[in-house]
Amino acid sequence: MQAAVPDNSVTRTLALASRTIGGHDRLAEYLGVAQALLEEWLDGRCEPPTAIYMRALDLVARGPFATPHRGRDHAKKKS
């Protein structure tokens, strides 16, 4: 029997962000993290840092027309 994945705002947001951007590999790249770490967050084994969670929320808010590079380019301009 499979263990249940915690259903909370973090796991739901990350899952929706993954669907929005086109998959776990693209979301990991967008967030600048290893896919294995993203999987831990998606499984609810640990929580992402607040800044990562906020980037995922921003991605979801932009919707299905978000591009994978838009957030990263925007972040570079701020630095």
pLDDT tens profile 8-58: 999 999 999 999 999 999 999 999 999 999 999 999 999 999 999 999 999
Count of domains observed in the chain = 1
Domain containing 26 equals: 9-78
User: Has residue 3 been placed in a domain?
Assistant: no
48 close to 30: Cβ distance less than 8 angstroms: no
Question: pTM value?
Answer: 0.74
End-to-end CA distance of the chain: 47
* ∠ CA 43-52-77, rounded to 5°: 150
Query: Hunting for tokens 């995922």 — which residue is that?
Result: 56
User: Has residue 4 been placed in a domain?
Assistant: no
Query: Hunting for tokens 């973090």 — which residue is that?
Result: 10
